């Protein structure tokens, strides 16, 4: 069969397929569900024939484009809806964190060691803290958590809890995202971001330990601390996982190792950033509210215990299966 005959014979089919794909591109529902698969199978055969018979670049490219477009529509992702979410938090997320437990422990250490070192510095060598916090920063800490002043400095600056929600989300989730993204650079970014967060936060807490109102600080931070800090650490851990793919590719090429690491890091990253995002409304609405301190402390402790239990126990059954 010559090319012209082949084209004449099949043109109607291709036109129909192109029209169907154009309709799907415009998100119009297809009335007869079997039309796309039928046309797709046909054009697959046509493309293979055209390639084999060397009908030329132009025809092959047209059919090639048609196959890709139709295939994309046939294989576009399934929307699993709420059951997908339940599967993610009931199994995928905690299992992925456990699978990378060594990296997660490392990242926990990278955050908590400088944090506690600076709190210890408050009692032994406070000059470490003063070296880190600028005088303006110290003044701000005094206003928020000083022994005499009872104003909510940040809240006054932004005026309302809703303003704070925007600030917390843009600040905290961006930090989490950035610590993941920079982890791709051989893990350097994640180590830097986590260490830096640990040092800064440790210095701020240490400063209040040395000369501030500890009760106010811990009452404010208790409730959202577990979500926020664990979330950022998990995002950093996801970044470290991808970075380790480059450092230690094993038997893969570095390029393939990066892709494989990305696949392992994705659930940790999604879960971690969701935790940070959840922390923001708690920090904006619950933590500064006038709920009794004992209640806030209880919620905070329960949060930490809850996450420990969650990552230890949840989603074990499908591991074995």
Partner 1 sequence: METPLKLDTLQTIELAEGVQVQLHPAGPLPRAVALMVDMVLAALIFGGLILGLLFLGNLVGMEMSVGLILLSAFGTYWGYFMLYEVLRRGQTPGKKYMGLRVVRTSGAPVGWGAAFLRNLVRFADMMPLLPQWQLAWLVFGFYLFGVTSCLCTLRFQRLGDLVADTLVIYDKTTEPHFTAKSREPIAPAPPPFVLTREEQVAFIQFVERAPSWSESRKEELVQPLAELLGIQGRGAVQRVLGIGVWLRDS
* Shortest Å distance, C-beta 49 to partner 1: 10
Phi/psi of residue 160, nearest 5 degrees: -140, 165
String of b and e for 122-155 (b: at least 16 CB within 10 Å)? beeebebbbebbeeeebebbbebbbeeeeeeeee
> Does residue number 165 form part of the binding site for partner 1 (CB under 8 A)?
yes
* Shortest Å distance, C-beta 35 to partner 1: 17
Question: How far is the C-alpha of 204 from the C-alpha of 209, rounded, in Å?
Answer: 9
Calculate the CA 195 to chain-centre distance.
Answer: 19
Question: By the 8 A CB rule, do 121 and 206 touch?
Answer: yes
Contact with partner 1 (CB under 8 A) among 112, 116, 130, 177: 177
Question: How far is the C-alpha of 162 from the C-alpha of 285, rounded, in Å?
Answer: 8
Quick one: tokens of 85? Answer: 């979410």
* Shortest Å distance, C-beta 45 to partner 1: 8
Nearest to partner 1 of 48, 308 (CB atom): 48
Contact with partner 1 (CB under 8 A) among 95, 143, 270, 314: 270
> Does residue number 103 form part of the binding site for partner 1 (CB under 8 A)?
no
Total interface residues for partner 1 by CB under 8 A: 57
Question: How far is the C-alpha of 195 from the C-alpha of 231, rounded, in Å?
Answer: 15
Residues 6+ apart with CB under 8 A from 145: 208, 212, 213, 214, 216, 217
Contact with partner 1 (CB under 8 A) among 41, 102, 215, 248: 41
Question: By the 8 A CB rule, do 190 and 179 touch?
Answer: yes
* Shortest Å distance, C-beta 162 to partner 1: 4
From 58-66, 125-133, 204-212, 285-293, give the range in contact with partner 1 by CB under 8 A.
58-66
> Does residue number 72 form part of the binding site for partner 1 (CB under 8 A)?
yes
> Does residue number 251 form part of the binding site for partner 1 (CB under 8 A)?
no
- What residues between 186 and 245 interact with partner 1 by CB under 8 A? 189, 242
Q: Could you list the residues that contact partner 1 (CB under 8 A)?
A: 2-3, 25, 40-41, 44-45, 47-48, 51, 54-58, 61, 64-65, 67-68, 71-72, 75-77, 158-160, 162-167, 169-170, 173-174, 177-178, 180-182, 184-185, 189, 242, 255, 258-259, 261-263, 265-266, 269-270
């Amino acid at each position: 069969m010559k090319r012209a005959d082949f084209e004449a014979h099949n043109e109607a089919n291709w036109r129909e397929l192109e029209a169907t794909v154009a309709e799907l591109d415009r998100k119009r529902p297809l009335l007869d569900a079997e039309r796309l698969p039928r046309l797709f199978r046909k054009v697959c055969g046509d493309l293979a024939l055209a390639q084999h018979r060397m009908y030329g670049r132009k025809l092959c490219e047209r059919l090639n484009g048609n196959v890709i477009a139709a295939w994309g529509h046939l294989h576009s992702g399934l929307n699993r809806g709420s059951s997908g979410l339940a599967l993610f938090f009931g199994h995928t997320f905690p299992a992925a964190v456990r699978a990378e437990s060594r990296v997660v422990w490392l990242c926990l250490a990278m955050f908590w060691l400088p944090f506690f070192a600076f709190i210890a510095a408050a009692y032994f060598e406070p000059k470490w803290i003063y070296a880190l916090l600028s005088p303006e920063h110290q003044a701000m800490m005094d206003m928020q958590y000083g022994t005499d002043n009872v104003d909510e400095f940040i809240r006054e600056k932004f005026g309302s809890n809703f303003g704070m929600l925007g600030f917390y989300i843009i600040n905290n989730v961006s930090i989490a995202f950035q610590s993941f993204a920079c982890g791709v650079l051989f893990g350097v970014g994640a180590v830097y971001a986590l260490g830096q967060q640990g040092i800064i936060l440790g210095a701020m807490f240490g400063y209040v330990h040395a000369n501030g109102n500890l009760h106010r600080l811990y009452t404010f931070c208790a409730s959202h601390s577990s979500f926020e800090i664990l979330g950022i650490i998990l995002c950093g851990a996801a970044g470290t996982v991808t970075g380790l793919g480059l450092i230690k590719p094993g038997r893969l090429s570095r390029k393939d190792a990066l892709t494989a690491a990305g696949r392992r890091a994705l659930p940790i990253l999604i879960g971690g950033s969701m935790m940070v995002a959840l922390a923001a409304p708690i920090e904006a609405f619950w933590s500064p509210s006038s709920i009794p301190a004992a209640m806030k402390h209880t919620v905070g402790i329960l949060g930490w215990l809850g996450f420990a239990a969650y990552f230890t126990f949840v989603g074990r059954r499908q591991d074995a299966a």
